[in-house]
Amino acid sequence: MLGSRVDVTDVRLPRFPVFLPMASCPRRCVYCHQGEITGEGGVPPASVKESLARLETPHEICYFGGSFTCLPEEQRGAYLDAVRSAPDGSVVRFSTHPLCVAGPVLRGLSTHPVSMIELGVSSLDDTVLAACNRGYTGEFALGVMDLVMREGYRLGVQLMTGLPGQSEESSLEDLRRIALLRDRAGAPAVSLRIYPCLVLEKTGLSEMFRRGDYSAPSLDHAVLHAGRMLREAKRLGFLVQRVGLHDTPSLSTNVVAGPYHPAFGELARSVELVACLLEANPAGPWEIDGRRRSMLFGHDRYGLRHLADRTGLSPSRIEELIRFKEVMTGRRGTNDVPGD
Helices (H) and strands (E) in the chain, counts: 13, 11
Q: Write out pLDDT tens, residues 62-117.
A: 998 778 999 989 999 999 999 999 999 999 999 999 999 999 999 989 899 999 99
Residues 170/123, Cβ–Cβ less than 8 Å: yes
Position 36, amino acid: E
**DSSP track, 55-119:** -SS--EEEEESS-GGGS-HHHHHHHHHHGGGSPTT-EEEEEE-GGG--HHHHHTTTTS-EEEEEE
Torsion angle (degrees, nearest 10) of CA 45, 48, 49, 53: 180
* Burial class of residue 285 in the structure, from the number of CB atoms within 10 Å of its CB (0-12 exposed, 13-18 middle, 19+ buried): exposed
Beta-bridge partner residues of 312: none
- CATH fold of 8-260, please? TIM Barrel (3.20.20)
**DSSP track, 3-31:** TTB--GGG----EEEEE-TTTT-SS--TT
Q: Write out pLDDT tens, residues 3-52.
A: 345 554 445 799 999 988 755 676 778 998 754 444 445 789 999 999 99
Position 270, amino acid: S
Q: What is the pLDDT of residue 10?
A: 47
**Cα–Cα separations (whole angstroms), residue 159 to 137, 156, 233, 307:** 14, 10, 11, 26
Residue 45 CA to its chain's centroid (Å): 25
Q: What would you report as the CA-atom Rg of the chain, rounded to the nearest whole angstrom? A: 20
Query: Where, residue-wise, is CATH 3.20.20.70 in the chain?
Result: 8-260
In whole angstroms, what is the distance from residue 151 CA to residue 335 CA?
A: 25
> Taking the complete model, does pTM exceed 0.95, yes or no?
no
